[in-house]
Amino acid sequence: MKISPASASRGPPALTVARYTAVEALRSGLPWLAAACVLAVLGLAGFLSQVAITEATALQASVSGALLRACAVFLVAAHVVASATREMNDKGLELALALPISRPAYYLGKLLGFACIGALLSSLFALPLLFWAKPLDLAAWWSSLALELALVAAAALFFASALVQTVAAIAATAGLYLLGRSIAAIQAIAGGPLAGDSLAENAMRWIVDALALLLPRLDAVTRSDWLLYGAPPTGEFAPALAGVGLYLVLLTAAGLFDFSRKNL
Amino acid sequence: MSRFGSSDARPVSEVPRWISCVLVAALAVQAASHFTRREGAPAATDLPNAPSAQALQLASLGEPAALARLAMIWLQAFDSGADNSVPYRQLDYVRLAAWLRAILAIDPRSEYPLFAAARIYAEVADPVKSRLMLDFIAREFAADPNRRWPALAHAALIAKHRLKDLPLARRYAAAILQRATADSVPLWAKQMEVFILEDMNELEAAKVMLGGLLAAGRIRDVAERRFLQGRLEELEQRLKAEKRGSTR
């Protein structure tokens, strides 16, 4: 990515970086991959509905919602990591930082650009779900997915910047995301009636609880059952989204901290 | 991004011939290997032990509604091969009920597990297995009567016409009357006991029930309507064949 001083001076530098980050994504294979995901998921959902004996519509909506969410997360994480590591390897980052732009502005600009791509992706993925879901429920799902993708972009950018290696960054992002989606179930198992009361088992429970404190509650957002049974009431929806938003701030702060200390 | 077959690629003639041959041969063997081991529906004995609801919840990664429905599609494939004259009869029903219970536990609002239990598994021509499924339906009905009464209503019909167990059918009908108290539950369902005691054959009763469900707006799903219509036709054929057999 090249930013000319002339273009950078047209507005806040972070916005210029964000714009070029979004343009880079739109000119890559990402839009085609996203379109292929939509077609593949719709095809699979159509096939499954043919073998369902009841709830065919619910099956299509829930499976499409769940798979499109997973596709969106994978695409955003892979794109962010690939883009950030390529920029570091090509020395594009050094070139960009030689321009009159602060490190925080550059990092925030990149994140904003990736978040915009996430929002575009969530809009594209929400469109086919209009076939089966009520617009208001879908709006809740869409806004939640957009925020979730911003969080995934923040995690991927942080790990790409900190770990530098592509595979390590993707694995770390996937690990954080999967733990975020399953930690509530892990806690339920750890605290269930079958769990023993020995010291080792209690220690395991504390470790799981401590781990949960450091993870976002991703199982509480962008749920495909919102498309079937309706979005949760505001009292439940807003805190879930606020939790993800808070974690987004935490990841951004961690990323800024690491990026500011980085020796290029 | 490099593209397969893009104009800047070298011509195909540049590829060594042996590589092209290996590619074509590998593709042919791959396709042929699928034809030689064409597998049908999984056998009854392939049904594994059911996981706990918590394990299934963990596997769903926060998407229980999608996993519950996918699990039902997977489950209904067991022992249902096209060459199978009596589908589902060989299944281990204790294991099957455990699967249905776990699936229902992760998405209690889904109607699929109880619908399958009532309309597929309870209709198997094995009274012991049928009773096991009816018992499962009756237990799960108690957890959410206003949503789950259609499965118990069908269970009552099975108890009367297939198992010839009128007391059991009346018990189910009474349970609907006592526990399914929401306004959305139609009157005919609340008066199921009268309906059970009437001198109707199975086909007439099934027709009345299907009509009642349609009138109550309970069947909005195209797949469900198609399935129930098909079941009605099957029942009609079976009763006609039985009638012909008894007159000879």
pLDDT digits (tens, 9 = 90+) for A149-158: 999 999 999 9
- Answer for the pair B206, B190: CB distance below 8 angstroms, yes or no: no
Q: Which CATH class is domain B46-198?
A: mainly alpha
The pTM for the full model equals: 0.85
Which of B221, B224, B232 to probe the A interface (max A CBs under 10 A)?
B221
Distance CA A32, CA A123 (A): 15
Average pLDDT over residues A183-204: 82
- Would you state the structure tokens that stand for residue A211, as one six-digit string? 């781990």
Residue of B nearest to A192 (CA): B54
* Residue A51 CB partners (closer than 8 Å, separation 6+): B73, B76
CB contact under 8 A, A53 and B111: no
The mean-pLDDT minimum among A59-63, A130-134, B86-90, B147-151 falls in B86-90
CB contact under 8 A, A224 and B66: yes
Q: How far is B248 from chain A (nearest CA, A)?
A: 37
For chain B, what are the domain ranges?
Answer: 46-198
Average pLDDT over residues A13-38: 94
A185 touches chain B (CB under 8 A): yes
Residues of chain A above pLDDT 90, percent: 77
Average pLDDT over residues A4-22: 76
Residue of B nearest to A221 (CA): B62
Residue A225: its pLDDT value, please? Answer: 92
* Integer CA distances (angstroms), A132 to A71, A136, B193, in order: 19, 12, 37
Residue B88: its pLDDT value, please? Answer: 84
What is the dihedral angle through the alpha carbons of B223, B228, B231, B232, rounded to the nearest 10 degrees? -140
Distance CA B225, CA A251 (A): 49
A134 touches chain B (CB under 8 A): no
Measuring CA to CA, which residue among B223, B232, B52, B85 is closest to residue B154?
B232
CB contact under 8 A, B116 and A66: no
Q: Which of A54, A182, A229 sits opposite B221 (nearest CB)?
A: A54
Distance CA A116, CA A110 (A): 10
Distance CA A237, CA A241 (A): 6
CB contact under 8 A, B109 and A229: yes
Distance CA B41, CA A173 (A): 38
- Answer for the pair B69, A63: CB distance below 8 angstroms, yes or no: yes
Q: How far is B114 from chain A (nearest CA, A)?
A: 11
Neighbours of A187 (CB within 10 A): 15
Contacts of A26 in chain B (CB under 8 A): none
CB contact under 8 A, A53 and B69: no
Residue B129: its pLDDT value, please? Answer: 93
What is the dihedral angle through the alpha carbons of B233, B235, B236, B241, rounded to the nearest 10 degrees? 130
- Answer for the pair A157, A255: CB distance below 8 angstroms, yes or no: yes
Q: How far is A61 from chain B (nearest CA, A)?
A: 8
Contacts of B69 in chain A (CB under 8 A): 52, 55, 58-59, 62-63
Residue A11: its pLDDT value, please? Answer: 75
Q: How far is A145 from chain B (nearest CA, A)?
A: 14
Q: How far is B112 from chain A (nearest CA, A)?
A: 6
Give me the amino acid identity at A208.
V
Contacts of A67 in chain B (CB under 8 A): 66
Instruction: Judge whether residue A46 has pLDDT over 50.
Output: yes
Under-70 pLDDT residues of chain B: 1-7, 37-40, 81-86, 199, 216-218, 246-248
Residue of A nearest to B68 (CA): A59
- Would you state the structure tokens that stand for residue B183, as one six-digit string? 């306004």
Distance CA A21, CA A14 (A): 10
Which of B63, B210, B227 to probe the A interface (max A CBs under 10 A)?
B63
- Answer for the pair B138, B158: CB distance below 8 angstroms, yes or no: no
- Answer for the pair A71, A37: CB distance below 8 angstroms, yes or no: yes
pLDDT-based confidence at residue A6 (cuts at 50, 70, 90): very low
Map chain B to HEC letters: CCCCCCCCCCCHHHCCHHHHHHHHHHHHHHHHHHHHCCCCCCCHHHCCCCCCHHHHHHHCCCCHHHHHHHHHHHHCCCCCCCCCCCCCCCCCHHHHHHHHHHHHHHCCCCCHHHHHHHHHHCCCCCHHHHHHHHHHHHHHHCCCHHHHHHHHHHHHHHHHHCCCCHHHHHHHHHHHHHHCCCCCCCHHHHCHHHHHHCCCCHHHHHHHHHHHHHHCCCCCCHHHHHHHHHHHHHHHHHHHHHHHHHHC
Which of B61, B70, B154, B231 to probe the A interface (max A CBs under 10 A)?
B61
pLDDT-based confidence at residue A8 (cuts at 50, 70, 90): very low
CB contact under 8 A, A218 and B62: yes
Judged by DSSP in three states, A198 sits in coil
CA angle B167, B172, B177 (to 5 degrees): 120
CB contact under 8 A, A28 and B1: yes
Residue predicted with more confidence, A159 or B241: A159
Residues of chain A above pLDDT 70, percent: 95
CB contact under 8 A, A53 and B222: no
* Residue A161 CB partners (closer than 8 Å, separation 6+): A84, A88, A107, A255, A258, A259, A262
Contacts of A145 in chain B (CB under 8 A): none
Give me the amino acid identity at B42.
P
The phi, psi pair for A66, rounded to 5°, reads: -65, -40
Residue B84: its pLDDT value, please? Answer: 62
